[in-house]
Amino acid sequence: MIIPLKRTIQTITLCLLFLFQGHLLMAQDLDLREICTIDYRTDFASLLEKNKDSLFPSSSTLGSVHFYRGLSFLEKNMYPEAIRDFKIARTDPTVSRTFCNFYIGVTYMKLNISDSIFAICSEALNVPVSQLKNPGFWQNAEITQDHIFSAYLIGTNEVVNHTTTDTSLIETCLKFATHDRDFLEAYINYGYWNFQYGHYTKTIDLYKHALDLEPSYDSAIILCMGYVYRLAGDPDQSMKSYILLKSKYPRFAAGFNNKGCLYAYIDQDNKALNTLSIAIRKDPRLLDARCNRGLVYLKLKKYRRAFDDFSAAIQIDVNFADAYYYRGFTRKAMGDLTGSIRDYSRAIQLKK
């Protein structure tokens, strides 16, 4: 399951100098809001699709029935029942013990029980837990499916559930899992890890491979690649990504939002306004596009239009703190100090 993630990461500094009664009123940095819909994946749907032939039971053995009921329990968030079925299933020689252990680990990750994940991986690999917590072990580990699944479970759980501050262990485990060139989730998650730490070139390489593995996932991957190219200082490749996205998904409002941000970043403000307006027409409730267009209007000192966009965003979401902040900024530029104080106060209240 793709979890929408709209991250307010600083992408462009717009220095706005306002004059009021002959004095410098304010200089402020404002953030545009680009959209990335990729997050760490924990559903592992591609594994079942990839291994459906080997997983499909040759006969309706008791173990296979328990395994598939365990998967159903897992999808229904019935975790104790899922664990019990997977443990029964792995005693049946007709069922993959590797996959049973893996999905026991997945269930523990859903429950945020880190110690149990280490325990199941230790059992699967016949390696002490202390070794599994050592990044050096993974740098020289044997490349087997059990090792790949164990590394992936440990790395993903540690980063998703914030159970350790040892970033070297997380990175080493996520990287090790990409030894399986067909493991989509491994490439998505290791790519997202690199994205969070500003390793944009590596992120792009990993996302490209993920795109080759799962073309139907391309809208989210291409959208984020456009964003990452921009962060990497390559606006040309970023623009190519958004052009490709438009050709394949002409109704995808998030693509127009990000493309509009890119135009603003390279100081093509009119194109930014036009493109953001297209995003709003395609999805009138897309708060990011409303906010971004308001910021471009604000940069151009078109205060009334900026005010209207921030007000429209507030109508869509009365708890959208940034819209109150930016509208307060706009009110101040227009000389409405009382209104600006009211909006700033509301933004402070919402951000507490």
pLDDT of the residue at 18: 38
Euclidean distance between CA atoms 223 and 227, whole angstroms: 7
pLDDT category at 162 given cuts 50, 70, 90 is confident
Give Cα 82 distance to the centre of its chain.
27
* Cα–Cα dist 105/100, whole Å: 9
pTM, entire model: 0.81
Percent of the chain with pLDDT over 90: 74
Structure tokens at 118: 């280490």
Question: What is the C-alpha separation between 258 and 256, in angstroms, rounded?
Answer: 5
* CB-neighbour burial class of residue 36 (10 A; exposed 0-12, middle 13-18, buried 19+): buried
Quote the tokens at residue 120. 């199941």
Alpha-carbon distance of 235 to 233, in angstroms, equals 6
Sequence ranges of the domains in the chain:
44-233
What is the rounded CA–CA span in Å between residue 339 and residue 91? 69
User: For the residues 6-21, what does the mean pLDDT come to?
Assistant: 36
Give per-residue pLDDT as tens, 70-82: 999 998 999 999 9
Please report the DSSP string for 168-234 in residue order. HHHHHHHHHHTTSTT-HHHHHHHHHHHHHTT-HHHHHHHHHHHHHH-GGGHHHHHHHHHHHHHHTT-
The number of beta carbons lying within 10 Å of the beta carbon of residue 208 is 13
Retrieve residue 247's tokens.
């050709």
Lowest mean pLDDT among 25-39, 46-60, 196-210, 259-273: 46-60
- Taking the alpha carbons of 116, 118, 123, 129 in that order, is the dihedral positive or negative? negative
C-alpha to C-alpha distances, 265 to 200, 231, 271, nearest whole angstrom = 18, 11, 11
**Radius of gyration over every alpha carbon of the chain, rounded to an integer in angstroms:** 24
What is the pLDDT at residue 56?
60
What pLDDT sits at residue 48?
Answer: 59
CA 269/CA 253 separation, integer angstroms: 19
Helix (H) or strand (E) holding 299: helix 287-299
Instruction: Give CA 30 to chain center in angstroms.
Output: 22
Q: What is the pLDDT of residue 218?
A: 81
Q: Mean pLDDT of all residues in the chain?
A: 87
Q: Over the stretch 17-70, which tens digit does the pLDDT of each residue have?
A: 333 333 333 333 457 899 988 888 876 666 656 655 555 655 688 999 999 899
Answer CATH for 44-233 from 1.25.40.10, 1.10.10.10, 3.40.50.720, 3.40.50.10490: 1.25.40.10
Compute CA 277 distance to the chain's CA centroid, rounded to the nearest angstrom. 25
Task: Taking the CA atoms of 154, 157, 163 and 165 in sequence, report the sign of the dihedral they define.
Answer: positive
Residue written as token pair 């559930």 = 161
Among all chains, which residue has been given the structure tokens 């600006």? 340
**Mean per-residue pLDDT, 132-149:** 95
- What is the per-residue pLDDT for 31? 79
Judge whether residue 169 has pLDDT over 60: yes
For 219-244, the pLDDT digits (tens) are 889 999 999 999 999 999 999 999 99
Reported as a pLDDT band with limits 50, 70 and 90, residue 1 is very low
Give the Cα separation of 198 and 331 in Å (integer): 35
